[in-house]
Amino acid sequence: MNAPTTWRPRLADGTAPVLAVLAVLLVALAFAGPAYSEPTGYLALLKRAAPLVILAIGQYFVIVSGGFDLSVGSLVTAEVVIAARLIDGQESATIWVIPLLLGFGVLVGLVNGLITTKLMVPSFIVTLGMLLVLDGAVFLWTGGAPRGALSPSFRVFGRGGIDLPVLGHLPWSVVILLVVLVAAAYFMRSGTGRTLVAVGDNQDAVRLAGGRVVRLKVLAFVLSGLLAALAAILLGGFAGVSAQVGEGLEFRAITAVVLGGVLLGGGRGSVVAAAAGALTLEALFSLLNLLGVSGALESAVQGVIIIAAVAYASLGANLRLGFRSRTATAESTSSTTSPPHKEIR
């Protein structure tokens, strides 16, 4: 998972707690359900978790650079509805619809990013507006009920897989997930990735150091949009077409990222931890299911747990970072007086 390059895996700040929680949950799953006594059970868990993990990775890029993306849930819905309408059960349409969907995700991300950086609107508001626009547009276009159907070959990504000797059935969504995760981890180790984190920490410093803040922030939103499109392709295959498919996913993705110890407001946290946070959330749901906790109480338990996890993480981090946050505020305060101030927040 962690792609250790040295003998000792290098864990970013805040990664260890979420990995510990995840490990506990996985062990608990093994005790709670017979399905988890062999790899197939865990692969099924990964398959279920894949869309959320991919969304969380996208959300991570935005959050670590100091923003929010509230539009991913409605973007997922829009993508699935568009796919169903355009494919309309025709096998031949799949091949051009998928690039179109990815392109639409990029476009939405680009709009989010450009409005945030060029018009200086806080990303919370931009993506909230985008959420309203996408939701409204989807319903306007479909008249309330999605029409059309996905083709079997489109759905392969979400529900299909290949049979391997040792692992058994390896779902495609797990393969896609691993590719995205490795790519994201490598990207965050590159210069661009490191600068992205620096933008979330102190964008004025990055700009003064010659970093292209605008381009990096837009890139984060574009990646988030692109990954939301990918998650929609998996979800469409896995869960099918409905106007509710993406409902609440934005909050889940943000929860997952924060659960992974990533600081809201940016500047700290690793992408692997964010992915682990999403997996933890999904493992938690599976465990609650196995333990027979009803669907209604599930959200209450989820609420308690995210508060507890974040409280635990921030009470620990606060002791370490108390001084740091104070100096960071002082820096940003003094820099707001510099005349050509391009991006606020």
Pairing of strands 161-164, 168-171: antiparallel
292 binds other proteins (CB under 8 A): no
Of 255, 270, 280, 286, the residue at the interface with other proteins (CB under 8 A) is: 255
300 binds other proteins (CB under 8 A): yes
Residue closer to other proteins by CB (options 115, 170) is 115
Determine the Cα angle at 296 with ends 294 and 302, to 5°.
95
Determine the Cα angle at 136 with ends 130 and 137, to 5°.
85
Strand partners, 201: none
114 binds other proteins (CB under 8 A): no
Residue closer to other proteins by CB (options 94, 123) is 123
Amino acid identity for residue 1 in this structure = M
- Please, which residues have CB within 8 angstroms of residue 340's CB and are 6 or more apart in sequence? none
Which residue in the block uniquely carries the two structure tokens 């295959």?
237
The answer to whether the Cα torsion of 85, 254, 113, 180 is positive or negative is negative
Residue closer to other proteins by CB (options 192, 242) is 242
145 binds other proteins (CB under 8 A): no
Q: Residue 184 and residue 295: Cα distance in Å, rounded?
A: 33
Q: Residue 109 and residue 23: Cα distance in Å, rounded?
A: 34
Total residues interacting with other proteins, rule: CB under 8 A: 58
Query: Which region, judged by CB under 8 A, interacts with other proteins, from 80-88, 99-107, 193-201, 329-337?
Result: 329-337
Q: Residue 114 and residue 126: Cα distance in Å, rounded?
A: 10
Look at residues 254, 273, 272 and name the one whose alpha carbon lies nearest to residue 264: 254
Strand partners, 254: none
Query: Which region, judged by CB under 8 A, interacts with other proteins, from 34-42, 47-55, 98-106, 333-341?
Result: 333-341
Look at residues 127, 117, 333 and name the one whose alpha carbon lies nearest to residue 213: 117
Query: Which region, judged by CB under 8 A, interacts with other proteins, from 32-40, 48-56, 215-223, 310-318?
Result: 310-318
- Please, which residues have CB within 8 angstroms of residue 261's CB and are 6 or more apart in sequence? 13, 14, 15, 17, 18, 269, 270, 273, 277, 313
Of 30, 264, 289, 290, the residue at the interface with other proteins (CB under 8 A) is: 264
Of 163, 165, 296, 320, the residue at the interface with other proteins (CB under 8 A) is: 296
76 binds other proteins (CB under 8 A): no
- Tokens found for residue 112: 């989010």
Query: Which region, judged by CB under 8 A, interacts with other proteins, from 77-85, 149-157, 177-185, 305-313?
Result: 305-313
Of 34, 136, 152, 168, the residue at the interface with other proteins (CB under 8 A) is: 136
20 binds other proteins (CB under 8 A): no
137 binds other proteins (CB under 8 A): yes
List contacts with other proteins (CB under 8 A): 70, 115, 119-122, 124-126, 128-137, 139-140, 144, 251, 254-255, 258, 264-265, 294-304, 306-307, 310-311, 314-315, 318, 325-326, 329, 332-333, 336-337, 339-341, 344-345
